[in-house]
Homo-oligomer: A and B are copies of this chain.
Amino acid sequence: MEGFITFDARNSCPFTVEPDAFEGVKRVAKKVAADFEKVCGKLPEITEKPENAPGLVLFATLGKSPLTDALIREGKFDPSPIRGKREVYQIKLIDKPFDGVSKALLVCGGDKRGTIYGMFALSEFIGVSPLHFWGDAEPQKRERIEITGKIETVSKEPSVKYRGFFINDEWPCFGEWTFARYGGFTAEVYDHVFELLLRLKGNYLWPAMWTSCFALDGPGSLNEELADIYGVIVGASHHEPCLRASEEWDKVRGPDSVYGNDWNYNKNKNGLLRYWEDALKRSGKYEKLITIGMRGERDSSMLGEEGEFLRENINLLKDIIKSQRELIKKHVNQNLDEVPQLLALYKEVEEFFYGDEKVAGLKDWDELDGVICMFCEDNYGFMRTLPWAEIRGRKGGFGMYYHFDYHGGPISYEWMPSTSFERTWEQMCMAYDYGIKDVWIVNVGDLKFNEVPLAYFMELAYDFEKWGTNSPNSIDGYTKIWTEKNFPLADANVRDKIADVLHGYIRMNAMRRPEALNSSIYHPCHYLEADRMLARAGEIEKANEEVYSALGANEKDAYYSMIYFPAKASVNLLRMHLYAGKNRHYAEQGKKIANHYAALVTECIEKDRALHNEFALFKTGKWKGMELEQHIGFIKWNEDNSRYPLRLQVEPAYKPRLVVSRKDREEVYSKTYGNPMTVLVDDFLYADNDEVILEIANDGIGSLEYEIKPEKEYDWLQISSLKGTVESQEEIILRCDRQKLAGETQNARLLIKDSETAVAVEIKARKPVAQGLPPMTFLENSGLVVMEANHFCGKKDAADKAAGFIELKNYGRSGSACGGGGMKVFPTTAVFGERDEKPSLSYRFLVEESGDYTVEVWMSPANPLENKRPLRFTLTAQGGQEQVITAVPADFMAGSHSDKRWNEGALDQIRISRGQIKLEKGVREIAIGALEAGLVLERVLVYRTGCGPLPSYLGPPESFFVR
């Protein structure tokens, strides 16, 4: 067809890659050719020059392509949009480009990676997902590929300069897998890793280093060579300076070694310098981002950590860096500014960066001016200190080391994704806005199962302008595109459901990392929390199965590999712990239904094993090994001593015995002498509480007959059953029909009886009191008001700073589990003094009793963004003084396992601050003001002091409010 380049099962246009082209381009051409074969069945021929053909595809790089030069000369191609830019490409259809060729598709990069990105863009254009290997995503098979003008594009420069990921904590999964398939951490497996990185438009990699040495495992230098061919810039983590892996040290150290035996710069300076020098000589020739500095052996701190050592450590580190840079100068490049270098401010090194009042830190040392300083979040996905305004413009720029996987305290997480896209968006936007644009690297653990979040992370780094701070709440949009690319044949509604399952299970995991779950997290009865979580898990499972059934053969594997299995296994794990919690709850109540839950726990344990075994067999073992991560009940920072939930067995009593309880309370009510025990149901006094569930249990053998006798007839009260037989436990639902309530508070009394026991139920109800109240007025329940952050009644921006709160949908625990959302101030770099006009949110509620009230402000467990600055906000009760409340004090040690406060926030994914106020009866408001943008407000609780909520993980459901 005129104007098109076409491919089909019989004919395909050749791919032309000139002899001058980069070797990486030549190799990628073969991968792209294979992609074309996948789609239409015929492998395009690769030629070195144009031959007579209706069309061809030319992969070229400016300056490395005589053919392109010719096209430029002939005015057929204008390279100016890409010339001199980083990692950009242009794709253009050119008529009659060469003699005997009627049409060419030119994929031209400004540099090597630009070309390669363009080539993989072509693959994506024909429907091949970047995740086709790692996510088992199959393109739509087509009889014919038509390449039309729609493909023409000029790409942008990537937003972040170095973008990539870190394969880490790679045993047992990645290690077992690659040893079985690729004989180790060889160039064979890295070919797949590099390809993924490049398809995701990344350029930077920290290779696996737990037990492997990238520079030696190729075998030999094959890994480094291959990376260089592809244009993959290899870096190393914070404790592997000068291009040498941590593991290498153990191979060469020794009493008789030329490198010496001590990883101690004071004792073994010459040995260490020689060790680094030899690596720079060996590997400095490749494109690298060279880590400088030093940490102690195996990721420990270098010297004692006591205050008096600060100066010594800083001086030592300066000495080390200076020597390292001299070696770089000597062996890599005389012009140090041309050698990208990185200093990671990890753990104690951060302290050396800042120094203190007495000791100047590394930040003030001009030697580092051209070096990228890399910050790190708290390992749990929350930023710690970020570049403050004064240093934001430094020449060397900044990096961020982010974690989708972490092995360390309080509890490691690696098994399945547990950082929501929303969290990654919020936190990485903040990093970017604070000036971190040079390096973004994310720890992806074993890589497998993190491929989907990784793709998002890479996209955000590549095109921050499109997906970043400018686009709050863009996860849905991103996911829509992603599902289209990866599930091309799926119906639109199935794709929507895929998005639901993907984010559903990850947000569920993000409420608490799976490894940190146990039977004591979600409350087994208060606020029916366990049941709500079971329902949530059930919904995810239902959608998951529906999607899997609905997908055709082309999509099933991708879905299974990227979503179905992680979601199913995550749901099952959560259930295991929820059932175990209910098992213990009922066992402590003495009820034999506990045994039913013990059996369910056993089922989950068995299913967990079965699911993982099934995954190992998927695609005849393609991923075998990747399923081996331990993930159940960690009690140390790692899996050592991890525990399956206990199962408690109840022996039923010798005869049927009636026990009554509220489903949402721990207390049991049973036989007594004199007046029967009385269950109080005062819920119907409060708006929107129209249903209470009672449990009628038989904690003995056999079955019992019960009967419920209302004292009189109550037309406003429905009781789901008035008699029955209980083997183990039955639920009775009490429903209040408020419409039928006349006048003021009404009482009802029921007797629940078997042959020898009577338990009374006292019920109180009244009509709703919402009439005449202004919109967004919340009503209390037993003196407690629970308000999701996004249900404010008023919002005030700081006009002069152009800063204000914006709602983040699906954000945090409130957004995931409580029907709310997060409220965060933008721009993210905003900071306010106590006397500034601050952005604020107001919340309105009806106070039924004047008195002392406690306000609980639930926020994301954010850390202070500036070193040693507390994280604070203001609280103002209507008619009261503004109070400044410290959510995180100045001595808080974000990311430090030894700080219990940080541990709690990180594990619970919430931080609760409290303030005391006085309130008069009536409709009242409180305001929460921001002193900075770091925190995200999730919910606000107000209660009569002393009448706080019952223990639970998520807290009470939101109160009723007037809309």
Contact = CB atoms under 8 A, between A and B. Distances in A.
A885 interface: no
A520 interface: no
A648 to B, nearest CB: 5
Contacts of A641: 590, 657, 659, 668, 670-671, 699
Given A630-B654, A654-B630, A647 B644 contact: no
B649 A649 contact: yes
A671 B637 CA distance: 12
Contacts of A598: 649
Contacts of A630: 654
A927 B645 CA distance: 52
A644 B650 contact: yes
Contacts of A642: 653
A651 interface: yes
Given A646-B649, A651-B605, A670 B640 contact: yes
A642 B587 CA distance: 13
Interface residues of A, number: 27
Contacts of A670: 640-641
Contact of A644 (B635, B640, B643, B651): B651
A590 B643 contact: yes
A153 interface: no
A672 interface: yes
Contacts of A659: 641
Contacts of A646: 587, 648-650
Contacts of A605: 651
A671 B590 contact: no
Interface string A648-673: 11110110010100000000101110
A302 to B, nearest CB: 15
Contacts of A648: 646-649
A640 B647 CA distance: 25
Contacts of A643: 590, 650, 653
A587 B672 CA distance: 34
A598 to B, nearest CB: 7
A631 to B, nearest CB: 10
A650 B580 CA distance: 12
Interface string A464-506: 0000000000000000000000000000000000000000000
A659 B635 CA distance: 14
A518 to B, nearest CB: 12
A670 B641 CA distance: 8
A171 to B, nearest CB: 12
Contacts of A635: 590
A752 B829 CA distance: 55
A605 B652 CA distance: 11
A86 B363 CA distance: 107
**From A587, A635, A651, A699, residue with most partner B Cβ within 10 Å:** A651
A484 to B, nearest CB: 39
Contacts of A650: 643-644, 646
Contacts of A590: 635, 641, 643
Contacts of A671: 640-641
A635 B653 CA distance: 13
Contact of A672 (B640, B645, B657, B668): B640
A672 B653 CA distance: 44
Interface string A915-935: 000000000000000000000
Contacts of A651: 605, 644-645, 647
18 contacts: A590-B641, A598-B649, A640-B657, A640-B670, A640-B672, A641-B657, A641-B670, A641-B671, A643-B650, A643-B653, A644-B653, A645-B651, A646-B648, A646-B649, A647-B649, A647-B651, A648-B648, A648-B649
Sort A-B residue pairs by CB-CB distance and give the 5 closest, nearest first.
A644-B651, A647-B649, A640-B671, A646-B648, A590-B643
Given A640-B672, A646-B648, A648-B649, 19 more contacts: A587-B646, A590-B635, A590-B641, A598-B649, A630-B654, A640-B657, A640-B670, A640-B671, A641-B659, A641-B668, A641-B670, A641-B671, A641-B699, A643-B653, A645-B651, A647-B649, A647-B651, A648-B648, A649-B649
